[in-house]
Structure 1
Amino acid sequence: MKFTELNLSETILEALEAMRFDECTPIQEKSIPIILEGKDLIAVAQTGTGKTAAFLLPVINKLNSGNYPEDAINCIIMSPTRELAQQIDQQMEGFSYFMPTSSVAIYGGNDGILFEQQKRGLVLGADVVIATPGRLLSHINLGYVDLSKVSFFILDEADRMLDMGFYDDIMQIAKLLPKERQTIMFSATMPTKIQQMAKNILHDPVEVKIAVSKPAEKIIQAAYVCTEYQKLGIIRVLFAQEPPEKVIIFASSKLKVKEVTKSLKMMKLNVGEMHSDLEQIQREQIMHEFKTGKVNVLVATDIVARGIDIDDIRLVINFDVPHDSEDYVHRIGRTARANNDGVALTFVSEKEQRDFKQIEDFLEKDIYKIPVPIELGEAPAYNPKSQSKGEFKRSEKKRRPGNSSFRKGGRQKGPKKGQN
């Protein structure tokens, strides 16, 4: 479906044409008409499906109908991270380029000037406020934020916000909003805690679900079936053969991120870490260093798996197997962007084999298994069906040096055609 087939104003269509937006994505096609009708919406869609436009376009369209108060906050958009808030604000500027709609992004940082700019936008009543929950509450608690005229309350990446501990903040903000409002929630997954929050803040919502997309075909996917103790050794061999350039390593917890980062620094690698224990200004500094190349390797929790646009990441490593297929797709989707190629490697320990098999089942293919470098010792056999019985069998076949995918002075041998 084309945007011209939706009930959007000519001014918005003009902006879309200038931005070379023509065809709707599935989430846009399904969500925009529902939002234009004024109904509450809960939409399940992953990053990269065009969900930001799915909620911004109809809200901008309605705000410019002339039925909303001037000099008042008419829309609140909640974002889990500063980076995503900035990205939404940038898209807001593009979509509303030919319209008088105003917006302000509210996020953390130790910059006093930035805080004053945010305060000014809130006091003057920007039409759209795009905010992280904690920073918006900081402004609210200072007594100059009026939310009494808010007509739209949007939660973007709701599951990620709950994972980061923002449930109480979101509910506190929701209680300050008018009961007569339109509430829109976007989430990549729909766990129980998201369903419970939806019951509390949405009224008779329409549900839209877009199936998780398979990873881009240009991403070369491969895995190492190994012991937990061989994982760092594999990284050492990988980076000894070819120095890293723009690599993200995903780990399952903040503690694991810190441990891996410490180990990689001992290998004399330029490493940064990203997790929710860091202050906002620290996270922004690390992202800046990573984007500019001062840091080559970023070790992170899933906090950066969604909503971060860096186009030249060539390698993603799953140090731990993600808990579900959706997280796997989000993680490896950080590579092979903007028509670039990319490689995604997953380290699969004995206890993670079952989870990895579920990912393979979702992808409907077997992911190529690279032999563990021979110098790291014997590796487990891949036998996920026996995991529940604890029957982990070591590979009985003795490896010959020729079986290793990494040779001295050589490059990694990728999977054969049809095995990626």
Structure 2
Amino acid sequence: MHLAHRESQRQSLSLFLGGQSTVWLGAMTEDPCASFVETGLTAPVRDNLSRMGVRIPSPIQIQAIPPILSGRDVEGIAPTGTGKTIAFAAPLTQRLLGAPHERIPHVARIICLSPTRELANQTGGAWRGCAKGTGLKVVVTIGGVPRARQVRDLEAGADILVATPGRLVDLLSDGAVVADATTALVVDEADRMLDLGFIDDMMSIASRLPVTHQTLLFSATMPAEIVDLGRRLLHRPVRVKVDTADAPPPRIRQQVMFIPPRHKLGALVSFLSTHPSRRVLIFTETRRQADDLANALGREMTCGVMHGEHTQARRERTLRDFRDHKLHVLIATDVMARGIDVEDVMLVVNYDIPRQAEAYVHRIGRTARAGRQGSALSLCAPEERLLLKDIERVTGARLKAIDPPA
């Protein structure tokens, strides 16, 4: 199947903005007078968004929702924490409500791919919020948990299937999921998908979909690989983009403490004791470092640890405890850095300086979510200074140096 050649089969779809093949909609600032009415969302979906606390559309939502409602393929580029999930979930929910509701056994009407189990669960939860009271069925399928219940959930079909790529390929291979009547494919956090090596799985899944499906691709960044992926998956797309510089003003106080590696633990304990925060998220580069740090900090405060070696059930339990304020501190590797939205994370600590500037941006993006304020502290050893300079160059942010504790 040639995914790039679908024009003749797509004539029945309404054409947005005069049917232009490529439309770049410039970044927009948040308009306090804007409303979801202006995006074209109808009352049932708007009411659900209001119940979720989402009342004013963000720039990416203002730009993406109208072309999605019209049936266009969309490529959305926006920083983390800007509301990309609602930007695709809300209009696709409305499109489903406007189409016949009858489910077909094993068929997923919409498929949304998420790079990690945690993000898939979060996206599924947000989508259930958008579809509450509509009768639409949302199913989440992820690896690391037994397949049997997921297969049972899919026997009667699903309106929305949120899945990690590996598990979905397995379910498609044995017929537990059928995609030949799927109307839309969403690739969420596409740059992270590529980082994790899911390109073959993504293309395998896309090849099973009907020629006339709608494709939405959302990403926080747009490296050359994303441009190429867009060419392969998207047909005459509308492209919407919110640059970091044009996103809502940053509300993160970014600080750095220059300190030798052997003194990092003591400095961190001292800092946390003198700068109490309700929720603290600490990132380490390796799983072993996360475990060691959790053991050390556990003597001083309630903390949990989360990384890829833990079972999915344990990861979900730890994240739930953190959300429920049963844990003061959560220590994690970068499995947590993308797309996880925990309310009121007041402080993010980079115990190690990440090797890529993009990882830094996604880590600190776990605080100051949805208009709130937050802080980020990076502990920088002498051998990490070049990494820090690269972060400052790429982000254009100068981190304020603070003194280590005496």
Fold conserved between structures, TM > 0.5 = yes
1:92 aligns with 2:127: yes
Letter in 2 for 1:322: P
Aligned position for 2:313: 281
CA RMSD of aligned residues (A): 3.1
Partners in 2 of 1:338 and 1:64 — Cα distance? Answer: 28
| Residue 53 of structure 1, CA deviation | 1.2
1:123 aligns with 2:155: yes
Contact 2:323/2:343 (8 A) holds in 1: no
Aligned position for 2:217: 185
| Residue 163 of structure 1, CA deviation | 2.3
1:47 aligns with 2:80: yes
Contact 1:246/1:313 (8 A) holds in 2: yes
Contact 1:261/1:271 (8 A) holds in 2: no
Which of 166, 169, 174 is matched with 1:142 structurally?
174
Which of 267, 279, 285 is matched with 1:234 structurally?
267
1:201 aligns with 2:233: yes
Letter in 1 for 2:162: I
1:101 aligns with 2:136: yes
**How many residues matched?**
368
Aligned position for 1:5: 38
Partners in 1 of 2:127 and 2:139 — Cα distance? Answer: 10
Higher relative contact order (CA 8 A, sep 6+): 2
User: 1:401-420 residue pairs with structure 2 within 5 A?
Assistant: 404=406
After superposition, the C-alpha distances for 1:33-78 in whole angstroms (9 at most, x for unaligned) are: 2212222221111232111111112211222222576434210001
Q: What's the secondary structure of 2:232's corresponding residue?
A: helix
Which of 287, 299, 302 is matched with 1:257 structurally?
287
Partners in 1 of 2:253 and 2:334 — Cα distance? Answer: 21
Aligned position for 1:394: none
Query: For the structure 1 residues 288 and 24, does the alpha-carbon distance in structure 2 shift closer, same or farther, using more than 3 Å as the test?
Result: closer
| Residue 187 of structure 1, CA deviation | 0.9
| Residue 146 of structure 1, CA deviation | 1.3
After superposition, the C-alpha distances for 1:142-195 in whole angstroms (9 at most, x for unaligned) are: 323211001100011122223233233222222221222111111111223333
Aligned position for 1:345: 377
Partners in 1 of 2:318 and 2:53 — Cα distance? Answer: 32
Which of 58, 61, 71 is matched with 2:94 structurally?
61
Partners in 2 of 1:130 and 1:204 — Cα distance? Answer: 25
1:248 aligns with 2:278: no
Aligned position for 2:116: 81
Which runs of 5 or more residues in structure 1 are unaligned?
Answer: 374-403, 405-420
Partners in 1 of 2:248 and 2:39 — Cα distance? Answer: 29
| Residue 295 of structure 1, CA deviation | 4.9
User: Structure 2 length normalisation: TM-score?
Assistant: 0.78
| Residue 358 of structure 1, CA deviation | 4.8
| Residue 31 of structure 1, CA deviation | 0.7
Letter in 2 for 1:258: R
| Residue 109 of structure 1, CA deviation | 4.3
Partners in 2 of 1:11 and 1:291 — Cα distance? Answer: 28
Q: What's the secondary structure of 1:23's corresponding residue?
A: coil
Letter in 1 for 2:287: V
User: Structure 1 length normalisation: TM-score?
Assistant: 0.76
Partners in 1 of 2:263 and 2:53 — Cα distance? Answer: 48
Query: For the structure 1 residues 179 and 287, does the alpha-carbon distance in structure 2 shift closer, same or farther, using more than 3 Å as the test?
Result: same
